[in-house]
Structure 1
Amino acid sequence: MGHRLGRWHLLLIALVAALLIGALAMLGLDRAMRVSALAETRTAATSQAAILAAGLESELNKFSLVPRVLAVDPEVGTLLAGDRSERSVLNRRLAALARQTNAAAIYLMDADGLTLAASNWDRPDSFVGSEYGFRDYFAGALRDGTHTEFALGTVSRRPGLYLAERVGPADRPLGVVAVKVEFDSLERKWRDAEDGVFVTDLDGIVLLASNPDWRFRAAEAETAAGARPARDPARDAMRFGIAQIETLALPWAGPATSRIRMIEKIQPIAPVGWELHLLADPAPRLSTAIANGRLAGVLGLALLGLAGAGGFIWLRQRSERATAQVAAQTAALREQLQQANRLATLGQITAGLGHEIRQPLAAMRVYAESGGRLLAADRKDEAAGNFDKIAGLADKIGRITEESLQFSRRTPSEPKDIPLTEVIEGSLLLLRDQIRQSGITLVLPEHDEAAVMVRAQHVQLEQVLVNLLQNALQACGTGGHITIAVAADRQQVRLSVSDDGPGVATELRDTLFQPFITGRPEGIGLGLAIARDIMGRIGGDLVLEDNETGACFTMMIPAA
């Protein structure tokens, strides 16, 4: 009897000990799952913030070129000089340009701020005749040559970014060209896809937001010097429609009984000095991770051996599903990052493309005017020759614009057989102005060598080659040498880009293709990482090879 009681006593102690061990294990498991879920949320938020910032920077770079080009347009200068005969033509040009670029408005003001021409000239809310000399962007453009300001529209009361450029020299300004950009569609995309996104200016004022109630509030963070400087209520009322700027309190997530602070990731926006803030809600990942951890723990403690086998199968299936989901999300993020990189690259070379287009446009105008005079003089054969030249120049502009549009498009995932010469010619067409301005000596492969067929995607190969050529241009500087070489066998084609620059530092060679590793102070270290990822996904590779001088990067492409 005493022996039986002793055994039950030991069993009870063992049971209590097992319960205590199980409870401690459950607490430890909860903590581990919580830490893991928060880390996953931070990692995903960091990647997504970088992608959104790159997209916004690309949009801003696209619009920043419009006022610069218009500021040197002959028709703009003629109108500001006092000739109003072509005002209606300029109004229609501005309207067409606003439609093409999706700008809210493009308008031209004289040196006193009076609007002379505008893209909305034929609408009830036309800017023509309105005076904007009191605006900061107008005064700043007259003073500095270029200026930006985010504010409510005087007429529309809709918020937008004003990009202004002075026309004429600083000592005798003729006027100012301004472009207003609205971000309604971008904010709607953020609202549908993200937990929370907002953009602040240098003073911490929210300018763009996925939640309209956050706009024109001051972010909670203070400046490096401490509290933010006092604001001018009258100026804020004019810019934002609010005299007293309230503080934006970041939202919390989760149920009221266990609220969790949203994770915030900040990404700088060049060149306007803004910051993009991405808010990520960790609550779904936390609840899922903790619930899954507890379920796994209960199953493990309750079923022991048999349940352990079942738990192992369940965990394996769950891991496979999570792996598939992560793979799908990674593929989507990779494609978005590649697209953002293409748009950012296109934004960097757009000024050169504008130069390539302006020259034939000017020549076309001269040939057209000359052709008209020849027709008036009944010299039809000579006039026909002028018009043939105009057609040839139009074809050249078409090739440039088509190449830039193709470079910016999202591409299908299936590779196809393409001649390598098309990729080389398209890349050089995009970079022609940079190469010419740098005085680079460019050595190209023979046409027969470059005409080899490869199995890949045109735009993706072009994205990698443009990245390598831009790196080579920056490395070798003015008057350097760049060589493009092609070698092929039955399995693969090797496309090499070599330069005579300083080469790659020894300490960077092993980590050069890792994200955020760069040898340039102004670089972010994503170009080569994206380029190698692209090559790997088509069955090729990107390698750094030994070279007597400078650097040599080789694209290994599957042969067709």
Structure 2
Amino acid sequence: MAGLENAVAEDGIDKGTLQHAPLMFPGRSAAGRSLWLAVLLALLGAALGFVVFATGQIAGAGAEYALRNRALAALPLVADSLKADVEKQRLIPLILARDGAVQEMFCSPSSAKEAALDDKLRGIARDATASVVYVINTEGIAVAASNAGEPTSFVGNDYRYRHYFTEAMANGTATQYALGTTSARPGLYLASRVDGSEGPLGVVVVKVELDRVESSWRESGFVVFTTDERGAVLATSVPQWRFGDLSPLSEEETETTRDHLQLSGATFKPVPLSQRGGNMVTASPAGRSAGFVAVSRDLGKAVPGWRLSLLIPADAEISSAAITGRVTTLLALILLGFVVFVIVRRRRAIRQRQEALARINTELEYRVNLRTADLRRTDQALAHEIAERENAEERVRRLRDELAQANRLSILGQIAAGVAHEINQPVAAIRTYAESAARLLQNGRSQDTAGNLSSIVAMTGRIGSITETLRSFSRRATGAIWPLPAEEAIDGALSLLSGRIRDSGVMIERKRTDSSPMVMASRIRLEQILVNLLQNALDALEDQPEPQVEIALTAKEEMVAISVRDNGPGLAPDIRRNLFMPFTTSKEKGLGLGLVISEEIARELGGSLRLDTNHEKGASFTVELRRAA
């Protein structure tokens, strides 16, 4: 309290304004009331928790009931899709068993009749979208099939071991779900016996692969599967459940099921599905356990002995309903408690409001004055920091400009010898032309003398263009940018390095466009970037066979790209990672600042400089600049 009073005194605030309310110290009666209040709050909290929990359970049960009704409504549709596919195919063996061509082929077999029957079965299978239709004689040998002549042809195969053959020969019709011996694909086999005047002639079989039905089940979002009377899973929307069992089987039961389905070596592992209670089950069709609402029904005469089960995902919906019910109940109880609390506390709040407002007002005035003083000091410190930051940024800009200028002067020093060689050639030619003009003038040949003088004028113009390029490049660049033909900057950079390019024997290949695009740039700074890139390429091509530098100019809608590529040894991986970091270089005497400065210049021009990582051989750099409107 003393510290607070001292702080207030330092800021010129009256200490008396903080002394409106006396301090209150609780006695024993207050402690007793606090204990009773804690007990009451604990009882209320327990009751509130019980009500919220019970509401969630009721809401979850309602959601489970709604899911069960939805599953019961969807179950007939799912069953009908399977029944329709099976019933459509069931008519085929019944009709073919009475077909004259089938009976005639059995009575007087011949190759021509078998071939004709093969074609007929092939057309029936295609029109009925059946997997395969085939005819078996009384010895169990397939004599005709819709897939005759194919690598998977059934003709000639022995099917005496198949239950559908023996049952059809004995009872007239048969149904069996099993794996195909040739295709290894599961399917439902529908068989019908062919009767003649003297007894059975053979069996007609249709294999129905339930791929379309299983696919429609998967698309529905439900988990659907069928089981036989032994509990083995047959057709299913979860392929990994096929030939599993709903409950663990004994060795004898496993052998019986294996014989019924004719699956030698099958283990019939239990399906990951367990009863949770009521209509709820726990299953893991996708490798993760989850709760489902399950309903089932027998398929009856459509597929005797089969039972269809449908599972609807339930965890998310039941959990959401329970959470919604609990949250709604909790909010309602909180609202009710709040209303009661407001009513009880209203009178006391009225009495205390004025005192609280007075204390708040006093505290607020104190904090405002304290905060104002802090803001005043912060504002002064911020103004000082801003001034220091502006000075630092100005120094950075000056140092950056001086570094760029030093880089240009360094480049001039490197190319001075080449430029001197460029000037020596026209100077020597001027001397030769001048001496020749003197002799011609002595001989009175004024017209030839005028020609030599014209050549001297041309040579001096060439020298002037070379020195003007050097003088322009050495000037300190300004920050102004304007529309500039990109080809002119490339010509200027090549002019500066023409002597070195000629002496190094490097071939320069330029890919020009029909018209030079205009870019927003400063010519001096753009030339500095290109000279840096060209010098790096020339350094990389030393002692390289058939050295070549390619300069490509590409114009896009908003940007113009200038690429400089060489066929040298390329850059090492460690150099590539830190290429645009200061002092990163692969040269023995290099400082590693050229690319750093070039990238900074490109960024100031509103563009970028990058290393092309998809260049196969050598190195490729691309500078992109804004295209002038």
Give the alignment's TM-score, normalised by structure 2: 0.44
TM-score, normalisation: structure 1:
0.49
Query: Rg bigger for which structure?
Result: 2
